[in-house]
Amino acid sequence: MSFHARIAVAATMTLAIVGLAVGSSAGLAAEVAPTALATIQPAYVPSIPNPVVPTVTPTPGEAVAADAQPDDTIAYPTLAAAVAAQQTKGEMDDDLRCLAGAIYYESKGEPLAGQLAVAEVILNRADNGRFGSSICGVITQPGQFSFVRGGRIPSVDPSRPAWRTALAVAKVALDDAWESDASDALYFHARRAAPGWGRVKVASIGNHVFYR
């Protein structure tokens, strides 16, 4: 083979090799390009759940304790307001009936403070234990209250305004809804009387004097 023939063959082979290289690169680019240009998927980051706050439901007993505390006594501006706020209709138990009867017979016509003071004497005697074991027992104890007849408290017409007032005062006293000037009294007598008691006077209200 002549020198020129060798050069021609070499040139032909070089062109063939370059063509193969170009074809292979184009094919590779065609295969790689879609991968390189593919959309990048965001990495999954788990969300942090909101904190769960436990719900505490009070039991019925707790609900009652929260709504009705022993110190939930209504504060009235005056004794008259406390008396006016009382419900005087409906049924009543023995304690209320006896106490209202004693207030009515012993102090109807007295100022409200005087009626409440009479109620305080009876309640203090019931707590003391030396005058009877109950409110009714204190009132019906022989020789203590002149209105008692045969160990019984006479009935009262419930439509009388003085009875409704006595009933309301009795409720105020039983609920301890007003502080009486005779809150620690155990005895009282009419102002016109002079029994000569050697006791400590705690109050003088209306026509009665109160002692402990």
What burial class does residue 153 get, using C-beta atoms within 10 Å of its C-beta: 0-12 exposed, 13-18 middle, 19+ buried? buried
164 belongs to a structural domain: yes
Q: Over the stretch 137-169, which tens digit does the pLDDT of each residue have? A: 999 999 999 999 999 999 999 999 999 999 999
Tell me if residue 162 falls in helix, strand or coil. Answer: helix
Decide the pairing of beta strands 201-205 and 208-211.
antiparallel
12 belongs to a structural domain: no
User: d(Cα 69, Cα 63) in Å, to the nearest integer?
Assistant: 10
183 belongs to a structural domain: yes
CB count in 10 Å sphere of residue 136: 21
Q: What is the domain-level CATH number for residue 125?
A: 1.10.10.2520
pTM of structure? 0.66
pLDDT reported for residue 197:
87
**DSSP codes joined into one string, 78-106:** SHHHHHHTS---S---HHHHHHHHHHHHH
pLDDT reported for residue 196:
85
75 belongs to a structural domain: no
137 belongs to a structural domain: yes
Whole domain around residue 113: which residue ranges?
A: 96-211
Closest by CA to 154, choosing from 86, 205, 108, 91, is: 108
Q: Over the stretch 122-133, which tens digit does the pLDDT of each residue have? A: 999 999 989 988
128 belongs to a structural domain: yes
88 belongs to a structural domain: no
69 belongs to a structural domain: no
Per the structure, how many domains does the chain have? Answer: 1
